[in-house]
């Protein structure tokens, strides 16, 4: 600043002296010289200010004006301030983008409403759950998009409220989806809406209640029969033949309860034990023979006067030294459950086809096909649920517990295998377990030469 003042003072002195000389040593000449110098300084100063203003309007720090005279320090100061502000703004933008990215990645929906309940912003989860298109629906009233009477009444309430449950936009009768929403006030009349998909939670709760109810029912029925027969034997005189008949019926019910308890223990063990690794290898030939024996024994027990048409085909795999990695007991349980179900639900004059095939992809497929009554398509997705039955009375008559396919599904998942089910009413059903390549190996089989 001192340099600029000194420069102006020096120029004024020179102008006054020059005017004094030109004006024949008069005061008017000095004044004229001072006026000319001041006018020139003012014009040049305005020129410098104009360059600075033009530079500021362009917002280009690198193209700073070169002829700014005494304002060079101001320009440098502006450059430093603007650069510092830009760094702060960039950091703020980066933090905001990171925050928005985190909200976008959230499995829960987040939606911001203004004081009039218009949509300011929402993440992709909320948009999907509530059926919102932010490109079209921004600043739209949320009540016009979520047309649920319960939600409309909930929206009218002020302050934080308990969450409510509504149907998702893409909910269907055959595939319902339930969304929990909750409003929180913030700022100047604004509100935050949080949403989350509770479909699986509600389904799990329904399954838990059904499980408890089914277990209680399945155990209560044979217990009622047993207690009734015990009371009869204790209080009434019965003949030896009647006593033997009662004891046989009691044995059947006791076996039924034992089977149910064993299946429950199997499921509990499957869910609580670690995934089977590759340290244990089981020959296919052993599993195949056990499975055949189980199928034939059950068929003879259920139909003592008729021989079911059960065909077994393993394409010679029991002789090539093929092995499966995993728990031998679990694999046997899964295979026999499929075969047992086919035997139970196929009539006496029906046919059952059990096959073991090594596919061209290297996968091993165990398939059980029958010519039973078949299963309607709407029941197939729920067949692996615990205690789910298409026909309860028919399942109970056949001696099933409703846990067989649930066990098969768990065993398949624990061995990286896939369970596929297909059926057609009136024609039969097909159940297949496909084991991946990394669970299959071939070993050399010793051939005994006589």
Tokens of 47: 């020129």
Domain ranges of the chain: 2-97, 106-197, 274-450
Domain 274-450 in the same topology as domain 106-197 = no
| pLDDT (tens digit per residue) in 91-135 | 888 888 888 888 888 888 999 999 888 999 889 888 888 888 888
pTM, 2 dp: 0.56
Q: What is the pLDDT of residue 15?
A: 65
Report the alpha-carbon distance of residue 73 to residue 77 in Å, rounded.
6
Number of C-beta neighbours around residue 351 at 10 A: 16
Q: What confidence score (pLDDT) does residue 367 get? A: 92
217-247: pLDDT as tens digits:
778 878 888 888 888 888 888 888 888 888 8
pLDDT at 448: 41
* 68-80 per-position pLDDT tens digit: 556 667 777 777 7
Per-residue pLDDT reduced to its tens digit, 398-430:
556 678 888 889 899 988 999 999 988 888 899
Predicted confidence (pLDDT) at residue 437 exceeds the cutoff of 80: yes
What is the model's pLDDT at position 435? Answer: 92
- Tell me, rounded to whole angstroms, the distance of Cα 184 from its chain centroid: 26
pLDDT tier at 301 (50, 70, 90 boundaries)? confident
- 3-class SS letters over the chain: CHHHHHHHHHHHHHHHHHHHHHCCCCHHHHHHHHHHHHHHHHHHHHHHHHHHHHHHHHCCCCCCCCCCHHHHHHHHHHHHHHHHHHHHHHHHHHHHHHHHHHHHHCCCEEEEECCCCEEEEECHHHHHHHCCCHHHHCCCEHHHHCCCHHHHHHHCCCCCCCCEEEECCCCCCCCCCEEEEEEEEECCCEEEEEEEECHHHHHHHHHHHHHHHHHHHHHHHHHHHHHHHHHHHHHCCCCHHHHHHHHHHHHHHHHHHHHHHHHHHHHHHHHHCCCCCCCCEEEHHHHHHHHHHHHHHHHHHHCCCCCCEEEEECCCHHHCCEEEECCHHHHHHHHHHHHHHHHHHCCCCCEEEEEEEECCCCCEEEEEEECCCCCCHHHHHHCCCCCCCCCHHHHHHHCCCCCHHHHHHHHHHHCCCEEEEEEECCCEEEEEEEECHHHEEECCCCCCCC
The CATH number of domain 106-197 is 3.90.340.10: no
pLDDT, the chain, mean = 80
114 to each of 102, 110, 141, 161, 176, how far by Cα in Å?
22, 14, 10, 17, 30
* Token pair in block for residue 80: 């430093």
pLDDT digits over 253-270, tens only? 888 788 788 888 887 777
Q: How far apart are CA 198 and CA 176, in angstroms?
A: 11
pLDDT at residue 313 is higher than 70: yes
CATH code of the domain made up of 274-450: 3.30.565.10
What integer is the mean pLDDT of 30-55? Answer: 72
pLDDT value, residue 434:
93
Q: List, for residues 162-199, the tens digit of each pLDDT value.
A: 888 888 877 777 677 888 999 988 888 888 999 998 88
């Amino acid at each position: 600043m001192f340099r600029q003042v000194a420069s102006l003072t020096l120029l004024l002195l020179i102008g006054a002296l020059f005017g004094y000389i030109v004006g024949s040593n008069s005061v008017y000449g000095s004044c004229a010289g001072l006026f000319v110098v001041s006018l020139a300084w003012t014009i040049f100063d305005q020129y410098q200010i104009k360059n600075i203003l033009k530079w500021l309007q362009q917002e280009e720090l690198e193209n700073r004006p070169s002829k700014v005279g005494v304002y060079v320090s101001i320009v440098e100061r502006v450059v430093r301030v603007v650069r510092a502000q830009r760094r702060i703004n960039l950091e703020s933008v980066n933090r905001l983008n990171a925050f928005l990215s985190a909200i976008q990645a959230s499995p829960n929906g987040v939606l911001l409403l203004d004081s009039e309940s218009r949509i300011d912003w929402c993440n992709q989860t909320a948009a999907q759950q509530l059926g919102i298109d932010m490109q079209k629906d921004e600043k739209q009233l949320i009540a016009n998009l979520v047309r649920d009477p319960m939600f409309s009444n909930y929206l009218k309430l002020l302050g934080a409220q308990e969450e409510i449950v509504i149907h998702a936009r893409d909910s269907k009768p055959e595939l319902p989806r339930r969304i929990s929403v909750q409003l929180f006030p913030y700022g100047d009349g604004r509100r935050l809406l949080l949403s989350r998909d509770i479909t699986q939670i509600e389904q799990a709760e329904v399954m838990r209640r059904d499980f408890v109810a089914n277990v209680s029912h399945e155990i209560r029925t044979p217990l009622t029969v047993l207690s009734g027969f015990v009371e009869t034997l204790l209080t009434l005189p019965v003949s030896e033949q009647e006593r033997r008949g009662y004891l046989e019926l009691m044995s059947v019910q006791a076996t039924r309860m034992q089977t149910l308890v064993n299946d429950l223990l199997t499921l509990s063990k499957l869910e609580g034990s670690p995934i089977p690794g590759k340290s244990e290898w089981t020959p296919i030939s052993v599993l195949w023979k056990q499975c055949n024996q189980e199928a034939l024994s059950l068929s003879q027990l259920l139909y003592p006067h008729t021989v079911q048409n059960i065909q077994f085909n393993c394409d010679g795999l029991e002789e090539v030294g093929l092995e499966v990695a995993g728990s031998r007991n679990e694999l046997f349980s899964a295979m026999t459950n499929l075969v047992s179900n086919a035997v139970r639900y196929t009539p006496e004059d029906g046919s059952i086809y059990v096959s073991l095939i090594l596919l061209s992809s290297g996968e091993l497929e165990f398939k059980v096909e029958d010519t039973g009554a078949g299963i309607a398509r709407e029941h197939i997705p729920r067949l692996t649920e615990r205690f789910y039955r298409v026909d309860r009375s028919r399942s109970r008559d056949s001696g099933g517990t409703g846990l067989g396919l649930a066990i098969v599904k768990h065993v398949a998942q624990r061995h990286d295998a896939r369970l596929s089910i297909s059926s057609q009413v009136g024609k039969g059903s097909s159940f297949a377990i496909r084991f991946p390549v990394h669970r299959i190996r071939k070993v050399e089989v010793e051939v005994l030469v006589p």
